[in-house]
Amino acid sequence: MKMIVVTGAAGFIGSCLVNKLNNKGIRDIVVVDDFSNPLKNKNLEHKMFLEQVHRDQFFDWIDSHHANVNFILHIGARTDTTEFDKKVFDKLNLNYSKSIWKGCVKYGIPLIYASSAATYGMGEFGYSDDHALVDKLKPLNPYGESKNEFDKWALKQEKKPVFWAGFKFFNVYGPNENHKGRMASVIWHAYKQISGTGKMKLFRSHNPLFEDGKQLRDFIYVKDVVDVLYYFMNQQPKSGIYNLGTGRARSFLDLAMATFRSMDRKPEVEFIDTPVDIRNKYQYFTEAKMEKLHEAGFEEPFYTLEEGIEEYVQEFLISGRSF
């Protein structure tokens, strides 16, 4: 029996990935997380898997079970961009990922891991997933730094897993993010705000090149993310670091209007000043360069922002169900 390991399996993207595997008939899954958050654990209800392993016990587990492991999908990470204790990220993101990489090298296991578009910082070098740019990037917070430090480390390793791919997730949204609170997607917050107050607050632009609400981000629906991960797990094209966005930046105003429409509410947007403490680090534009992913053979169309928001709101947020 060959098993697939998913770390961060109770989290947002990890639990959606487990569901994707289940929908493809895969049940021999080992889920790894800390399982301490009851709200987060709800994401694993009705999922089918073989075994649950606490993240602190995972390396002992892999030493004993590596012969039966077919693939590791390392999605788990501390993702809080407002956490500034670098030691937390060194432990849970950088060093944990290094240990997984070394285990995959030692035991001949292919690896997919989660990087982040937070590695791009202010975007001063653009948003290309060219490996030559990785050393130049200047992330804006310890979370982004931890992801970029691992990307840099991975590229420098002489010994690499038999296949490996790191994915720079852009602004992912969709079901199973209820536990994330303030770190949940803007769509989740929009739905909560509109439900509670009938209106949506957006940051005013403090950049003369952008109108209020016209700040741009690359928003990607979580179902598209897990489709790409599943494709790479099966096809194992060229190893390397890949962007994972839609390749099309959309405005926060577009997002707000789509959310109002999906809720059948009259749009009412209020603009508020961007807080002073984040104003000089605020990104006005992110957009993934996606050529490398297409060259790897992935050609499935992604959800548009409107399609993704409509499904997320109407099938998941209103009903309160998970994916």
How many other CB atoms are there within 10 angstroms of residue 168's CB atom? Answer: 23
Rg of the chain's alpha carbons, rounded to an integer? Answer: 19
Which of 98, 152, 160, 180 is catalytic? The answer is 180
Residue type present at position 44: L
Q: Counting every residue, how long is the chain? A: 323
Residues 6+ apart with CB under 8 A from 181: none
DSSP state of 47: -
How far, in whole angstroms, is CA 164 from its chain's centroid?
Answer: 17
167, 114 Cβ separation under 8 angstroms: yes
Tell the residue number behind the tokens 């937390």, with chain if given.
88
How many other CB atoms are there within 10 angstroms of residue 15's CB atom? Answer: 31
DSSP state of 263: T
The answer to whether residue 91 is catalytic is: no
The answer to whether residue 96 is catalytic is: no
- Using alpha carbons, list the distances in angstroms from residue 120 to 81, 146, 168, 203: 14, 12, 9, 21
Which of 113, 143, 191, 230 is catalytic? The answer is 143
Catalytic residues: 143, 180
